[in-house]
Amino acid sequence: MTDNVEKFRALHVPGKPLVLYNIWDAGSAKAVVAAGAPAIATGSYGVAEAHGLADGESMPLDLVLANLSRIAATVGVPVSVDLESGYGATLDEVTQSVIQARDAGASGINMEDRLPNADEPLPVEEASRRFAAAANAGIFINARCDVFRGKTVDAALLADAKHRATAYADAGAAGLFVPFLSDAATIGAICEASPIPVNILWSDECESIAALADLGVARISFGHQPWAKAMADLGEAAAKLYKT
């Protein structure tokens, strides 16, 4: 497990981003690894929907871990699991949830700086304590910074993101995930200021993977988009069948 954690950490290189085409089960993981992925990551939305549930920690942790265990047993590359808000009301519960993910085969996790279904991020000090608790498990903690979620980029939000990058790094996070952001100048400024590698969520507004690399991005995630595309293709094929 330690080897895979270090392999995963080494894949985060600013300017040479790790591209994660997010998966949701062992079958999708196997397909993406066969395509050449050096590591894989789940997305909580796709995993939950694939189990008939909703995003936002409505999926029981035991089911998240069972799904993770099957994925890790199927592929030989590092696996990162989306643990949403850390599956814990207390710091000890967060630590125990991440330890369980590690023991189920995770080399890293994604963890949000807001609580399930909350609109706003936690105060930076409280979020930092939760990331520190997660870091006790000894795996790669990708700290999700949700300051841009549903917001228009401005100087205050950028300053908040930079502050959180430093605070989360000090708490033991190994990466900073800043979703819902496509503004090149803002991405570049965060990459320059962050003491830890920066992860960006791909969107159609992003110019290209090469352009994100030039900004200093170290990781690019696709979130629920691969699951959504697979489901759309499935529905389209079924619709053609049943309309004949």
Determine contact, residues 78/8, Cβ cutoff 8 Å. Answer: yes
Mean pLDDT of 118-132: 97
For residue 24, count other CB atoms closer than 10 A to its CB: 25
Structure tokens at 183: 């503004």
DSSP 137-184: T-SEEEEE--TTTT----HHHHHHHHHHHHHHHHHT-SEEEE-S---H
Whole-angstrom Cα distance, residue 11 to residue 218? 8
- Over the stretch 51-95, which tens digit does the pLDDT of each residue have? 999 999 999 999 999 999 999 999 999 999 999 999 999 999 999
CATH node for 2-242: 3.20.20.60
Query: Any idea where the domains of the chain sit in the sequence?
Result: 2-242
Averaged over 20-28, what is the pLDDT?
Answer: 98
Q: Is 238 exposed, middle or buried (0-12, 13-18, 19+ CB in 10 A)?
A: exposed
- pLDDT recorded at residue 244: 64
Residue 1 has pLDDT above 70, yes or no: no
Percent residues over pLDDT 70 in the chain? 99
User: Whole-angstrom Cα distance, residue 162 to residue 195?
Assistant: 9
pLDDT in tens, 164-220: 999 999 999 999 999 999 999 999 999 999 999 999 999 999 999 999 999 999 999
Helix (H) / strand (E) element for 5: namely helix 2-10
Instruction: Look at the alpha carbons of 22, 164, 119, 111 in this order and tell me if their dihedral is positive or negative.
Output: positive
Cα dihedral across residues 157, 159, 160, 166: positive or negative: positive
Q: State percent of the chain over pLDDT 90.
A: 98
Record the tokens describing residue 29, joined without a space. Answer: 């993981």
